[in-house]
Structures are given as structure tokens and as C-alpha cells.
Structure 1
Amino acid sequence: MCLLIFMSARMKSVLAVNGDSYSNSRHRDNGTIIRNGVIYRAQQTDMETCVLNWDGTMKIYNPEEMDTQKLIDSGAYQIWIFGPSLLDGNGKAKTTFRTWPYIEESHPRTAIGYYEPGHYCLLVVDGRQDNSRGMFLDEMAGLFEQLGCKAAYNLDGGHCSFMTLKDQVVNHPYKSEHKVEDGIFITEGV
């Protein structure tokens, strides 16, 4: 059974999706991790990093812009590393991405879009199944542009793409038994 269901129940979340690849070992320098304002890892990365601030704003940083202390000082609450970003600074779909070619291919996907502080769009796409091939990055970027997001960021996908509504998985993951160890949880007022 999906670990995301248990985490979602513990968090009393209304909606949850898998998060990023915080344990990404593809790179020697695998980035900064901040959860609930606490720095768990502060390393360089060659990937774009998505930052959610305490004030509800979301910004995506290129590797050369990353400064962990400045992020904390400016209110970093959560950081996700996987990427890439899907929209340019004007909310238009990108056609080239800062990632490796495999990630650009059609896969099951999870992504977060940003409208304004406190207003987000979570998207999960099934794939690697007869009835769903997944999405290419440029297709997902185009969808976030159509939805009117100002920014959008590709989270971990593939066998990790899960969405729960309360205590039920509502998508059709191609590996439903996979343990998802990180998530984004939407809860009612705390």
C-alpha cells in the first residue's frame, strides 16, 4: 500500500501528491533541502530548485542563484529539487529545459503550478500503461500555460506519481505498491 496514504492520514490532509527526489543520488551535489523552515541539507546542485516561502509565494531558482542563508532569511519554508521549471518569467511554456534528455520524454508526472500566494495547481498524470502514455515536458508546460499559472515546476514522477484525496489514491499509478517517501500535503486550517 502507498506510504503516501499513511502520511496523508497522519497529516489529516485533504489532498496530497508525491514531492521531489530529495534523496536524489544521481548527482554528487544533490542540493538543498528545507522542510517546514528547517535546513536538512545544504549542498550545491546543477538542478533548478523550487522554493515555497512562509508568505505563500513560490519562486524557482537556477543553481547559480542558490544561497541557503539568503533563502532562509527571505522566508523559505519548503524546497523541492527535481525540476525542471516549465514556464518562463512571463508564464509562457518553455520549449527547452534544464534537465537531462530522459526527463523530457513521456512519463507519469507530478508538478506544482503557482498562481499567487496561497493559490497553487497540483497536477498528476498517469503513464506507462495501456490507457495512459504520460506526458512530455513540453506538453505539461503548455498545460500550465493554458491554466494561467505564473510558474510551474516538475516534481518527481514515474513510479512516484501519486495523488490522494483524503485516504484514497485517486490516480492510477503504474506501480501502486511503490513507497513514496516525500509529499506535498494540503490541509484545512491548522
Structure 2
Amino acid sequence: MQFFSKKYLWTICCGLGLSAAVTAVLLDTFVLSHKISIEAVQAASVSSESSEDVIAEAAKTTTTETAESDPIITETSYTDDDLSVSLTTTREYETEIYIVDIQVSSADALKTAFAENTYGRNIKETTSQMAEDNQAIVAINGDYYGFRNMGFVLRNGVLYRDTVNSGTEALVIDSNGDFQIVEEDNASAEDLLNDGARQILSFGPGLVQNGEITVTEDEEVGQAMQSNPRTAIGQIGENHYVIIVADGRTDESEGLSLYELAEVFQEAGASTAYNLDGGGSSTLWFNGNVINQPTEKGSGERSVSDILYFN
């Protein structure tokens, strides 16, 4: 009976508590995954605003939404008060090419999103799933940042990675929605953020700058084949963009070289154009459907780390 006296009972409770604490630390260190929730980051950012500003902004948004007219949607277009999208399908270089012309009233319509709304290694979803989750009108796969440990990652004004991927050109999109292509070796993501960058994607290369093609006819990404499925984005003018996605590696479509892709952008009037992740990742989502013919073996549409989209 003395074993269950208060003195021994207290000792047993302390021992159990210590064991539970040690177990929790081990689980946290070696088993449980750690991810950065984008919603948490955004919430922390918003908390710095005064409650009056938040309430005023919410009231303004509600008023704006009420005044908006219904969008006009066809198989090849979408138009509302703030966004105009037109899709053209053409065939060049023995390849099916999808050209999306996009005009917006505000640069805020150009956004990026992570798979599972989370930044981290090997977190993946299909482009279509991310597009649906973010109510995108048009979306493309991004730079697949999670496949690499290097390369700048700045998304929607939040810096996640400032590690240089040597020899890589990055696409910088500022708060006005304007494009700039920079050499990561000669830049800092933190400095670019401080100078007004809102998005930085790290894949490349740049295809067009100042309206001139900047790749050679034999240039390629890494060890990739000369003709591939492609995803790329360009800017024509203020709040005016063009997306080009090309099929490839099929009997129907050979695919494009980087130079051929740059030529299509130049023909579309792009002043700046930038190559994103291609091959099996290339996916174009528009008006609730995948438009191109993705070539991921077994499933058709590859799961990737991120998207770039308009809504």
C-alpha cells in the first residue's frame, strides 16, 4: 500500500510526464514534417495593418464585387470588368501551339500559387488542381522550384529562398506587373524584393528582351532535347501579357526549340519573354479545362510545385 502513497504517486507522475516530453521532441525532430503555410505567412503580414484599414478595404472590395457585371465566356475567350483573355491555337514547326493573350486592369491579377498552398520540398499537385483551388481563369505550370535546392523563390511579395542558381536567368515581376530578366549571379533576391519585386521565378532562359530574341538557334535547357513541349510567358505592354504553351513528344506534335519558341513570342509582339519548366510539366489551364496535351507518362498531367495564374 505504501507504493501508492502520495510520495510514490508523485514520482510516477513526474516520470510519465518526462517520458511524454522526450517522445514529443523525438517525433517533432525525426518524424513530423515541417512546411510553411502560405496562409499563415499572409496572415502575419496582414496583422501589421490597422483594423480600420482592413475594414475599409473589405468594404471597398464588397462594393466593387457587387458592381461587377457577369463575365462573358466562350470556348476561346473570357471577359469581365478586370480581365480579358483570348486563346488562339496555331500550328507551326509541325507542332500545336496555344497562344493566350491576356489584358488586365490591375497587376494584382497576375499571381502565383504553391501546391497545397505550402512552400517546401517535394510538395506537388497538378496544375489543374492548383488552378481550381485558386479560382484561376487561366493558369500555367511554374518553375518547379521544389525540384531544386537552388534558385530564387519570391512569390506574391514573400521571399522564401535567396540561394543563387549559378548561370541561371530569373524572371522578376514587379508590383506594376512589369517583367525584367536578371542574372542570378549578379543579383540578390532580397535586394530585388526591396526594389519592388513581387514575383521571382527561376528557370529560364530569357527568350526575348526589348523585343529582340536573346537565345541562339542551338541553345537548350540543360541536357534536354532540342524539340520539347514548352511553357513560357511574356509581356507585350502595360498590364498586357502573352502565354505560349506548345505540345511535343507526340506523333501529332514534334515540339519547339527555344529559338522557335522565342520566334513565336516575337511574332506575338512580346517585348520580354521567359521560358518556364517544360517537357512533361507543360500544362495550360483555361476556363476550367486543360487545353494542351500534357505528356507525363501514365497520367497525362504531371504534379508540380507551383503555378502562375490570372483571375
Q: Is the 8 A contact 2:220 2:258 kept in 1?
A: no
Higher helix share: 2
Q: 2:138 maps to which residue?
A: 15
Report the structure number with the largest CA radius of gyration.
2
Highest RCO, 1 vs 2 (Cα 8 Å, sep ≥ 6): 1
Is there any run of 5+ residues in structure 2 with no aligned partner, and where?
1-124
Cα deviation, residue 144, structure 1:
1.1
Query: 1:115/1:83 Cα in 2 relative to 1: closer, same or farther (>3 Å)?
Result: same
Measured in 2, the distance between the counterparts of 1:153 and 1:128 equals 21
Query: 1:144/1:158 Cα in 2 relative to 1: closer, same or farther (>3 Å)?
Result: same
Q: Aligned partner of 1:52: which letter?
A: I
Taking the TM superposition and a 5 Å limit, the aligned residue runs for 1:15-94 are: 15-25=138-148, 30-46=150-166, 47-88=168-209, 90-94=210-214
Counting matched residue pairs gives 182
Cα deviation, residue 33, structure 1:
0.2
1:145 to 239, 252, 266: 266
CA RMSD for the aligned pairs?
Answer: 1.9
Q: Aligned partner of 2:241: which letter?
A: Y
Q: TM-score, normalised by structure 1?
A: 0.88
Q: 2:83 maps to which residue?
A: none
Measured in 2, the distance between the counterparts of 1:143 and 1:114 equals 13
Cα deviation, residue 180, structure 1:
2.5
Query: 1:98/1:106 Cα in 2 relative to 1: closer, same or farther (>3 Å)?
Result: closer
Measured in 2, the distance between the counterparts of 1:19 and 1:101 equals 17
Taking the TM superposition and a 5 Å limit, the aligned residue runs for 1:171-190 are: 171-175=292-296, 176-187=300-311
Query: 1:101/1:177 Cα in 2 relative to 1: closer, same or farther (>3 Å)?
Result: closer
Q: 2:240 maps to which residue?
A: 119
Q: 2:129 maps to which residue?
A: 6
Cα deviation, residue 102, structure 1:
2.8
Measured in 1, the distance between the counterparts of 2:182 and 2:215 equals 18
1:135-175 CA distance string (max 9 Å, x none): 00110111111111111100000000001113210111112
Q: Is the 8 A contact 1:110 1:123 kept in 2?
A: yes
Structure 1 segments (4+ residues) deviating >6 Å: none
Secondary structure of 2:250's match? Answer: coil
Secondary structure of 1:130's match? Answer: coil
- Could you tell me the percent identity over the aligned residues? 35
Taking the TM superposition and a 5 Å limit, the aligned residue runs for 1:159-178 are: 159-175=280-296, 176-178=300-302
Measured in 2, the distance between the counterparts of 1:113 and 1:148 equals 9
Q: Is the 8 A contact 2:151 2:202 kept in 1?
A: yes
Q: Aligned partner of 1:185: which letter?
A: Y
Secondary structure of 1:13's match? Answer: coil
Secondary structure of 2:214's match? Answer: coil
Cα deviation, residue 181, structure 1:
2.6
Measured in 1, the distance between the counterparts of 2:188 and 2:310 equals 27
Is there any run of 5+ residues in structure 1 with no aligned partner, and where?
none
Q: Is the 8 A contact 2:206 2:215 kept in 1?
A: no
Q: Is the 8 A contact 1:84 1:98 kept in 2?
A: no
Cα deviation, residue 103, structure 1:
4.1
Measured in 1, the distance between the counterparts of 2:263 and 2:187 equals 27
